[in-house]
């Protein structure tokens, strides 16, 4: 018994000494270094998102300038804006890992503007590969393009360029035919694709009027 008491007394003293020398941080249940890393990553992500928002707005703004210039037949200004938007879009690609709604909108506007530009300039719609964008952004851009083409066709009729109006109708008809081959589910692309049908109907009415008047 005296031996046991001596051992217990020694253990008790060791525990007391341990509490005296120990730091409470030695017993923390959280990795504070990791939390510091998490805070930095979140801060960096916030900075990146702000950059995406600004660069996306730049692309959207220039896209509108391209379309506005084309509607005024100002190819020179449109070409200058195309060079500018290519640089802005490339800068946006750096943040491709940060998926936000606004950068998707920017790519759709980019697709619409560039498709319109090359149709006016070369009578060709650029491919998705040449624009270096994703499938959905390309298709959404084409949907919006048909609305601008209706506006262009009306202007061509006003300026008595009746053959150009018919060419535009034929293009939208071709786009509509391609979209019919897709099995689009209930999504934003599905809803947006519906406007192609209505824009085609407007163009068919324009061409019908021309045929009645013997001008097409």
What confidence tens digit (pLDDT) does each residue in 120-140 have? Answer: 999 999 999 999 999 999 999
The CATH number of domain 134-216, selected from 3.20.20.70, 1.20.58.200, 2.60.40.10, 3.30.470.20: 1.20.58.200
Is the pLDDT higher at 33 or at 70? 70
Domains 39-127 and 134-216 share a fold: yes
Q: Provide the pLDDT for residue 6.
A: 44
Least confident of 45-49, 75-79, 183-187, 204-208: 45-49
Range with the largest mean pLDDT of 4-18, 96-110, 170-184: 170-184
- CATH code of the domain occupying 39-127: 1.20.58.2140
Distance of CA 204 to the CA centre of its chain: 31
Residue 185: exposure state from Cβ atoms within 10 A (0-12, 13-18, ≥19): exposed
Q: So where are the chain's domains?
A: 39-127, 134-216
Residue 157: exposure state from Cβ atoms within 10 A (0-12, 13-18, ≥19): buried
- List b or e across 117-154, with b for residues whose CB sees 16 or more CB atoms inside 10 angstroms: bbbbeeeebeeeeebebeebbbbbbbbbbbbbbbebbe
Query: CA 37 to CA 200: how far, in whole Å?
Result: 54
Residues whose CB falls within 8 Å of the CB of residue 163, separated by 6 or more in sequence, listed in order: 216
Count how many residues are written for the chain.
216
**Confidence category of residue 14, pLDDT binned at 50, 70, 90:** low
Q: Provide the pLDDT for residue 140.
A: 97
Contact assessment for residue 131 and residue 158, using Cβ atoms and an 8 Å cutoff: no
Report yes or no on whether pTM surpasses 0.75. Answer: yes
């Amino acid at each position: 018994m005296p031996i046991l008491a001596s051992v217990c007394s020694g253990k008790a003293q060791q525990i007391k000494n341990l509490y005296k020398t120990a730091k409470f941080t030695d017993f923390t249940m959280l990795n504070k270094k990791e939390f510091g890393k998490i805070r930095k990553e979140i801060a960096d992500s916030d900075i990146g998102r702000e950059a995406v928002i600004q660069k996306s707005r730049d692309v959207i703004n220039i896209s509108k300038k391209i379309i506005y210039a084309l509607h005024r037949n100002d190819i020179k200004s449109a070409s200058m804006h195309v060079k500018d938007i290519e640089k802005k879009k490339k800068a946006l690609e750096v943040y491709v890992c940060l998926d936000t709604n606004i950068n998707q909108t920017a790519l759709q506007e980019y697709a619409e503007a560039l498709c319109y530009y090359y149709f006016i300039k070369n009578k060709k719609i650029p491919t998705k590969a040449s624009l270096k964008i994703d499938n959905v952004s390309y298709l959404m851009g084409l949907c919006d393009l048909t609305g601008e083409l209706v506006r262009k066709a009306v202007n061509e009729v006003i300026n008595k360029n009746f053959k150009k109006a018919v060419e535009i109708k034929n293009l939208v008809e071709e786009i509509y035919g391609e979209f019919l081959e897709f099995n689009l589910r209930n999504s934003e692309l599905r809803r947006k694709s519906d406007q192609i049908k209505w824009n085609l109907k407007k163009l068919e009415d324009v061409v019908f009027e021309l045929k009645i008047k013997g001008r097409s």
